[in-house]
Structure 1
Amino acid sequence: MNYIATLRDQLQGMATGFVAALPSFAIALFVILLTWIVARFATKLSDMLVGKTDIRPSLKNLIDTVVKLAIWVIGLFIAAVVVMPDLTPASLLAGLGIGAVAIGFAFQDIFENFLAGVLIMVREKMRIGDVIECQGITGKVEHISLRESHVRRLSGELTVVPNSILFKNPVEILTDVDQRRHEVVVGVSYDTNLDHAADVIRRSVEEVDDVLASKGIDIFAQEFNSSSVDFLVRWWAGSTPRAGWESKDKVVRAIKAALDDAGIEIPFPYVTHTFKETVPVSQIGQQNKPTP
């Protein structure tokens, strides 16, 4: 058997087949280029149509992605049929079904985050701009994609969070509404008239500008502490962390000034100190010597 002649015949056949397929490859490349143009045009058209509605930005991104993905799937299928005329939708789906199992096991985390991103975009809660807290991460949501979300921490760092974490774990949305309740504990001495102290605290909190007095102010005698009777003071103010800190600062200052004016003492906690005798190093070992 002449192996060299056989190899030469096979290479010539492959070269002839490749040359014969060049027109098909050119048409397939043209189809891909046309698909790219149509996908960009469809995305802009989708932005124009959706932009006239009050739809959420995250859902808008999802619609753009779905439109672009659908156009690319159709375009790639047409290009594949041009290159391989024997390819049919049934055979393509069968091949995709077998490959999807292998790909699913290999890229399980990626698909999990992808599906979680779709569900996060579809649901109404947690919009871009909300301040959230999840798994020890507190910050403002800046971007939501199909795989990950960008959360800007209150200290300025950007945290990239996989969508599966935000979907599978409880998420506290601090800015879901414009106002939320804040609280602080205030202690007064045991010789204080508690009704009078509660009235002084209430009036001082009501005079703070940032406090929504119309939603009510709660003053509860909470517990007997070691050196004081503690009140739990609760009020409504802005829902953002900064609004909460600012209102708490003003409330604490107002309560302290009002209690001082009323002559009501805010006691220090009693601290028991244990004093130990200090012995110089030179005297160590001489303390237990018998006296001559």
Structure 2
Amino acid sequence: MKIRKIAISLGWIFCTALTSLAQDDVPDQFAADAEIEAVKSAPADVEVQPAVTDQMIEERLENILRATEWFLRPQVEVNEGVAFISGEAETDEHRKWAGDLARNTQDVVAVVNKLQVTPKSIWDFTPAWIEIQRMGREAVQATPLLLLGLLLFGLTWVFATMSMRIAFALFENRLPSPLLRHVISRAIAIPVFLFGIYLILRISGLTQIAMTVLGGTGLIGIVIGIAFRDIAENFLASILISIQRPFSLGDLIQVGGHEGVVQRVTTRGTLLMTLDGNHVQIPNATIYKNVIKNFTANPKRRFDFLVGIDYLDSASKAQDVIQQMLEDHEAILDDPEPMVLVEELGTSTVNLRVYAWIDGSQYSAAKVRSSVIRLTKRAISDAGLTMPDEAREVIFPNGIPVTMIDDQRRTRHPHEQESSTSVPAAEPETVQNESEGGFSSEIEEIEKQAQESSPPDKGANLLDTAEQE
């Protein structure tokens, strides 16, 4: 009885074990009919059916390769789970995709990919045509954004123009320089325009380009500032000159070693016409950084010169004689009054410095000075004063032969004796002479020549515009 129970128990245990083993040997069944969506993503697992054969794997893989139409004469051979793929593929990506497909197929243990990439002809324009088609599709898709961008660009242009005009109107009465008003109005309009361009690029989906525009604006400004430093310096100097106006058109100035009449001031430089009738164009940066001597700002001009008299003559008498001559001269101003001062005691003369003032807008300083020097010489001679030459000491170490005066006079030609005893010719009493050509200023003649000449710079005259306003 006990043996029977033991036998029944062992049989139940044996049946239970067989049942569990049978359940473990039953494989799971899955369907593998997913569609291929992209070239680069092959199926992760291709199942045929449980206990597939090599022939079934061949048929399944060949059918998939032919269905894609990416391969020419595709063939698949499977031997003991090793798949051999041959034929031609259009691209390397297709070839790799076929290998991944076979590798992920159920019961395939290895893949030998013998696919050859079909060489393209040099006359094959298919890639170019495909690219053109793609660009055409993108252009059609971008048409709405393009139209919106054009609309926004037009609005940006309108807003920038309006802001520039409003700024120009606001500063019209506050800033005397029209150039400065234009610069400020454009400085306000440019940020408005750049902000509009930024919005257009952002709306069009070109965010990276929009950020590049914002970042590149400052970089471009630095590059332009370095490359055009001298031009920018002249431009800023022209703005400062047009604001401060240290001189006006027609003024006689001296700057940087050049003296002339101001003809025009442009954004590049200042044009002068020298008293020789030549055009001189000086960069505005040089004008602004150098000392400017304006002879026209104050019409009264002073000149001076030095005259020496003999030690035996009276210095006070010489001063009175020259002072009277200055007071009688028609071109010399009484206020400020002329002066005759003793400056120094020279080696052989007492030197007097003569100071006199004229109206530079009416008279030429060079002509009046010539007349005064000439009349000073005549006044000194008429007063019995002398103007000796400077004393010189000459040493003859070896001696020099001497001839007695009486003997020399007896042998001299008669007309030489007359010339030795002749008296110097007296100066004419006229204040002006023909050589000096009157005392009128040369400015009028220079302006006349400037009107007849062709200026080298055709730019807008900043001073002329400012003075007209």
Does 1:202 pair with 2:319?
no
- Aligned match for 1:170, one of 282, 287, 291: 291
Aligned equivalents of 2:215, 2:241: Cα separation in 1: 31
Kept in 1, the 8 Å contact 2:198–2:214? The answer is: no
Instruction: Give the length in aligned residue pairs.
Output: 267
Q: How does 1:132-151 map to 2 (within 5 A)?
A: 132-151=253-272
Q: CA deviation digits over 1:30-70, x for unaligned, max 9?
A: 9979x99x999x99x99xx87xx9x9xxx544246437745
- Range with bigger deviation, 198-207 or 150-159: 150-159
* C-alpha distance 6-215 of structure 1, shift in aligned 2 (>3 A): same
- Aligned match for 2:231, one of 101, 110, 113: 110
1:288 maps to none
- Mind listing any 5+ residue stretches in structure 1 that lack a counterpart? 278-292
- Range with bigger deviation, 194-203 or 128-137: 128-137
1:280 maps to none
Kept in 1, the 8 Å contact 2:252–2:295? The answer is: yes
1:235 maps to 356
Amino acid at match of 1:216: E
Aligned equivalents of 2:202, 2:127: Cα separation in 1: 28
1:125 counterpart SS class: coil
* C-alpha distance 104-70 of structure 1, shift in aligned 2 (>3 A): closer
Q: CA RMSD in A?
A: 4.2
1:128 maps to 249
1:250 counterpart SS class: helix
- Aligned match for 1:248, one of 366, 369, 372: 369
Q: CA deviation digits over 1:84-132, x for unaligned, max 9?
A: 5749999755432121112111111111111111111111422222222
Does 1:260 pair with 2:377?
no
CA-CA distance at 1:239 after TM superposition: 3.5
Amino acid at match of 1:252: I
Q: CA deviation digits over 1:260-282, x for unaligned, max 9?
A: 2211122233456789x9xxxxx
CA-CA distance at 1:256 after TM superposition: 1.9
1:184 counterpart SS class: strand
CA-CA distance at 1:81 after TM superposition: 6.8
2:377 counterpart SS class: helix
Kept in 2, the 8 Å contact 1:211–1:235? The answer is: yes
Amino acid at match of 1:125: P
2:280 counterpart SS class: strand
Kept in 2, the 8 Å contact 1:228–1:267? The answer is: yes
Higher relative contact order (CA 8 A, sep 6+): 1
* C-alpha distance 221-114 of structure 1, shift in aligned 2 (>3 A): same
Aligned equivalents of 1:10, 1:239: Cα separation in 2: 80
2:183 maps to 66
Aligned equivalents of 1:161, 1:179: Cα separation in 2: 26
Aligned equivalents of 2:134, 2:367: Cα separation in 1: 80
Kept in 1, the 8 Å contact 2:153–2:200? The answer is: yes
Q: CA deviation digits over 1:7-35, x for unaligned, max 9?
A: 444445556749955896799699979x9
Larger Rg: 2
Q: CA deviation digits over 1:163-216, x for unaligned, max 9?
A: 111112222222221112211111112211000100101110111111111212
- Range with bigger deviation, 11-20 or 226-235: 11-20
Q: How does 1:1-292 map to 2 (within 5 A)?
A: 1=91, 4-11=125-132, 17=139, 20=143, 21=146, 60-63=177-180, 65-66=182-183, 69=186, 73=190, 80=197, 84=201, 86=203, 94-239=215-360, 243-270=364-391
Q: CA deviation digits over 1:206-249, x for unaligned, max 9?
A: 11111111212121111122332111111111346962112212
Kept in 2, the 8 Å contact 1:208–1:250? The answer is: no
**What is the TM-score when the length of structure 1 is the normalising length?**
0.71
1:161 counterpart SS class: strand
Amino acid at match of 1:223: E
Amino acid at match of 1:227: S
- Range with bigger deviation, 218-227 or 22-31: 22-31
* C-alpha distance 260-70 of structure 1, shift in aligned 2 (>3 A): same
Amino acid at match of 1:102: V
1:215 counterpart SS class: coil
Kept in 2, the 8 Å contact 1:208–1:254? The answer is: no
**What is the TM-score when the length of structure 2 is the normalising length?**
0.47
Aligned equivalents of 1:159, 1:25: Cα separation in 2: 49
Aligned equivalents of 2:259, 2:149: Cα separation in 1: 54
* C-alpha distance 8-189 of structure 1, shift in aligned 2 (>3 A): farther
2:52 maps to none
